[in-house]
Amino acid sequence: MQTVTVDLDTRSYPIHIGAGLLGAAGHWTPCLGSRVMIVTNTVLAELHLAPVQAALQGRDFETLILPDGEATKTLASAERIWDALLAARFGRDASLIALGGGVTGDLTGFAAACYQRGIDFIQMPTTLLAQVDSSVGGKTGVNHPRGKNMIGAFHQPRCVIADLDTLGTLPERELRAGLAEVIKYGLIADAAFFAWLEAHLDALLAREPAALSHAIAVSCRTKAAIVTADERESGVRALLNLGHTFGHAIETGTGYGTWLHGEAVATGMVMAAELSARLGRVPSATVERIRRLIDRAGLPVTAPRGLDAGRFLELMAVDKKAQAGRLRLVLLRAIGEAELRSDTDPGVLRALLDQFPRGP
C-alpha cells in the first residue's frame, strides 16, 4: 500500500492506494463517525459492496443504492440522500461513504457538505478517473440542466481509499478515460512523469498493479500539492483545468454522456497544446508528442464533427472559468509546465477552432 497525504491543516487526509483495501477495515473505519451510510450505485453494489459491508459488521450502518450514471448527479439525488439520512435520524456525528466513480463521489460529498451544514465522508473511488482526480481536492457538486457542477461545495473527505481491485472490473473505455487525467498531470507539472508514461503506457493498459499504483500515487501527489497551495481555486489550481474548457464544451455540445469526461479532456488537451503552438509558446514537435501519447492511450485526438467554431466559443464562454467576459485558458509553455492566460488573441482561438481536425 502507498499513502499520499493531502496537507490542509486540520482538514488534512490520507489517500491509501493498494489492493484489497475495501475489505481492510483497519485502514478506514477509524475515519468514521458513530453512524454510517454507504452511498453507491447499482453496478458497484453488485461488484464491490460486499467487502465494505463485511468490514462494517457490528457497526450501525445503512446502504443507499442509486442508479448508475451521470444522470444521477442531480439535486434530486442529493435530496434522496438527505431524506434517507433524516428518515434514519442521522445526526451531525454520522459519516457517509461514497463507493463509486466520480458521480457517486461528487454527489455524496455534496450531500455530506450540506447535511446539517457538513458531516464527514470518506471516498472509495472505483474508477481510475475518480482515483486520480475527483477524490482529491474536496470539490463536490451536482449538475444543473444549464451546466455541469453548477451547484456544489468545497468539502474535504476524511480519507480516500483507492482500491486497485476495483480497476479490475472497470470497462476498458473508462480505464482509458482515466488515463487522460493521468497524462494531464505529466503535462502541467512533471515532465519526467510524462516520459515515464510514454515508457509504461502498455503496462497501464494491461492493468499491471505496480504501474497503476505508481501512476495513481504520482497523480494524487501532484494534485494534492496543487490543492494544498490553493484550496479554493483562486490561482494555481486552475492549471488542473488544462483541456477542460475545450473538454466541457465538447461534453455539453454533444450532450452529456456521449463523450466520457476523460475523452473530452483528452481532445481538449490536444487543442490546448495546439493553441499554445499557434501562439508560439511551444514547438509543434511538442504538440505531436502529446498527441501521440494520447492516441496510443486509445483516446480521441479530434473534435466532434458537429461542433463548429461558433458553437464551441458559445459553450466555452458559459464555462465557470470565464471571468467577467474574459476567457481564461490553461496553455502550455513546455511538457511539465502550464500557465493560466486571459489574453489569448480571439482570432488565433477562432482559427484553431475552425481548423482543428474533426473526428471520424
Greatest CA span in the chain, whole angstroms?
A: 64
Q: Find the angle CA(143)-CA(255)-CA(262) to the nearest 5 degrees.
A: 75
Q: How far is the CB of 141 from its own copies (least distance, A)?
A: 6
The sign of the torsion formed by the CA atoms of 242, 245, 246, 247 equals: positive
30 contributes a contact to its own copies by CB under 8 A: no
- CA atoms of 144 and 130, how far apart (whole Å): 20
- CA atoms of 346 and 285, how far apart (whole Å): 24
Residue whose CB is less far from its own copies, 203 or 322: 322
115 contributes a contact to its own copies by CB under 8 A: yes
Residue whose CB is less far from its own copies, 69 or 147: 147
Contact 161/27 with Cβ under 8 angstroms?
A: yes
Q: 88: helix, coil or strand?
A: coil
Residue whose CB is less far from its own copies, 82 or 196: 82
Q: Draw the binding track, 153-172, toward its own copies (x: CB under 8 A; -: no contact).
A: xx------------------
**Options 59, 144, 173, 292; binder of its own copies; rule CB under 8 A:** 144
86 contributes a contact to its own copies by CB under 8 A: yes
**Options 5, 7, 67, 91; binder of its own copies; rule CB under 8 A:** 91
- CA atoms of 251 and 234, how far apart (whole Å): 24
- Which residues contact residue 261 at a Cβ distance below 8 angstroms, ignoring those fewer than 6 apart? 102, 129, 177, 247, 251
Kindly state the number of chain residues that form the binding site for its own copies, as judged by CB under 8 A. Answer: 36
Stretch that binds its own copies, among 80-88, 160-168, 207-215, 290-298 (CB under 8 A): 80-88
User: Nearest to residue 223, comparing CAs of 270, 268, 298, 162?
Assistant: 162
CB atoms within 10 A of CB 232: 9
Backbone angles phi, psi at 80, to 5 degrees: -60, -40
118 contributes a contact to its own copies by CB under 8 A: yes
Question: Which residues are known catalytic residues?
Answer: 117, 139, 181, 223, 233, 237, 241, 244, 248, 261
Subset of 201-240 contacting its own copies (CB under 8 A): 232
324 contributes a contact to its own copies by CB under 8 A: yes
Contact 145/71 with Cβ under 8 angstroms?
A: no
**Options 26, 280, 323, 343; binder of its own copies; rule CB under 8 A:** 323
- CA atoms of 72 and 322, how far apart (whole Å): 26
Residue whose CB is less far from its own copies, 13 or 110: 110
Q: At 243, list the grid cell.
A: 483541456
Stretch that binds its own copies, among 144-152, 165-173, 239-247, 339-347 (CB under 8 A): 144-152
**Options 9, 30, 117, 285; binder of its own copies; rule CB under 8 A:** 117
Contact 34/94 with Cβ under 8 angstroms?
A: yes
Residue whose CB is less far from its own copies, 34 or 258: 34
Q: Summarize as ranges the residues that interact with its own copies (CB under 8 A).
A: 34, 75, 79, 82-83, 86-87, 89, 91-93, 110, 113-118, 139-141, 144, 146-147, 149-154, 232, 318, 320, 322-324
